Amino acid sequence: MNPAVSVRGLRKSYGDVEAVKGVDFEVAPGEVFGFLGPNGAGKTTTISMLCTLVTPTGGAAAVGGHDVVTQRDDVRRNIGLVFQDPTLDGYLTAEQNLRFHAELYGVPKTVLADRLRQVLEMVGLWDRKESRVSTFSGGMKRRLEIARGLLHSPKVLFLDEPTVGLDPQTRAAIWGYITRLRHTEDITIFMTTHYMDEAEYCDRIAIIDHGEIVVVDSPEALKASVGKDRVQIQTGDDERAIAALQDRFGIEAAVHEGQVTFAVASGEEFVPRLFADLGMPIKSVSVSRPSLDDVFMSYTGSTIRDAESGSAGNQWMRAMARGR
């Protein structure tokens, strides 16, 4: 089967700023594919090139088999967009917004009424179809944008940070619609996010940092590739525990989330040694498998939050990355 999205050496510079530095990847039909990276990593620039809104400086990309530079109209007919900034008309009703879009995309009149109802019911806005969009909450507007993005039955739906700025309940609802889509529509989904928990919904994710793809794989495979567990202990004296871990096991630890935290290859097997040889009482121990946070750290050397705030990451996280 031909890939839904195919990208080779794609790059984009804005003057001296190399926003995207030559990325390669393919997205299979029916896949939910995510770009995960901190603010400024190049996610919006990449998705904008795929949607024909930004012209690449180099390389090539095809969506649904159509080139994003030479076959822009074909690409546009085959894609749906939900971008960070809302583009709904507030003075129109929900239904009027969708009808306007249907006209632009040439949705046949014979199917329009059914399709309108289908997409509005999917996002829970059928009852509000006659309300003006200016009266909608942020979450309702985002839901309407998703309905609009799907109205013309696109082959690929592009979502740029679909839940940014929304409360946790609305974020969960939006993910509910997106995951249900894979059963109800014949569609490929390409999305960007800087939320680790949202990346978990994807079949595969590409981690992007400073305009480059660092790794592409399923969330499970990426977590398994870290190869280290996170161990957190509580003792009566954090400083002494950190020093003892260094002296007796050569392990670098730091206080993280209020507990002495470090990374080791097989956490459960290490715990008995810890009790036997740490040389001080331990009040509690927890061992957890790597999260996508740990994956991001392991491949890029900082956490997403640290990358966004410009700080350097803490000591145990740096220790986590050092194995590579």
Ligand X SMILES: Nc1ncnc2c1ncn2[C@@H]1O[C@H](COP(=O)(O)OP(=O)(O)OP(=O)(O)O)[C@@H](O)[C@H]1O
The residues of the shown chain that bind ligand X, judged by CB under 6 A, are 14, 17, 19, 37, 39-45, 161
Q: Shortest approach of ligand X to residue 27 CB, angstroms?
A: 18
CB of 14 to ligand X, least distance (A): 3
Give the C-alpha separation, 270 to 231, whole Å. Answer: 9
d(CA 174, CA 223): 25
Q: Render 197-225 in DSSP notation, one character per residue.
A: HHHTTSSEEEEEETTEEEEEE-HHHHHHH
Taking the complex as a whole, the smallest distance from the CB of residue 54 to ligand X amounts, in Å, to 8
* Rounded least distance, CB 160 to ligand X, Å: 7
196 vs 264, which CB is nearer to ligand X?
196
Residue 5 vs 19, nearer CB to ligand X: 19
Q: How far is the CB of 118 from ligand X (least distance, A)?
A: 31
Instruction: Tell me the C-alpha distance between 309 and 170, whole Å.
Output: 26
Identify the CA nearest to 153 among candidates 223, 194, 197, 105: 105
- In whole angstroms, give the CA distance from residue 233 to residue 126: 51
**Which residue number, 116 or 206, has a Cβ lying nearer to ligand X?**
206
Residue type, 109: K
Q: Of 12 and 155, which has the nearer Cβ to ligand X? A: 12
Q: Distance between CA 212 and CA 235 in Å, rounded?
A: 41
Q: How far is the CB of 39 from ligand X (least distance, A)?
A: 3
Q: Which is nearer to ligand X, 17 or 111 (CB)?
A: 17
SS3 readout for 93-158 = EHHHHHHHHHHHCCCCHHHHHHHHHHHHHHCCCHHHCCCEHHHCCHHHHHHHHHHHHHHCCCCEEE
Nearer to ligand X, 59 or 124 (CB): 59
Q: How far is CA 59 from CA 25, 53, 211, 285, in A?
A: 12, 16, 14, 50
Q: Which is nearer to ligand X, 157 or 319 (CB)?
A: 157
Contact (Cβ atoms closer than 8 angstroms) between residue 257 and residue 232 = yes
Q: How far is the CB of 155 from ligand X (least distance, A)?
A: 23
In the bound complex, what is the minimum distance in angstroms from residue 37's beta carbon to ligand X?
5
Least Å distance, CB 182 to ligand X, is: 24
CA distance 88 to 86: 6
Work out the widest C-alpha separation in the chain, in whole angstroms.
77
- Cα 19 from Cα 45, distance rounded (Å): 7
8 backbone dihedrals φ, ψ, rounded to 5°: -130, 115
37 or 290: CB nearest ligand X:
37
For ligand X, which is the closer residue by CB, 34 or 290? 34
Please state, in angstroms and rounded to a whole number, the distance separating the CA atoms of residues 189 and 177: 12
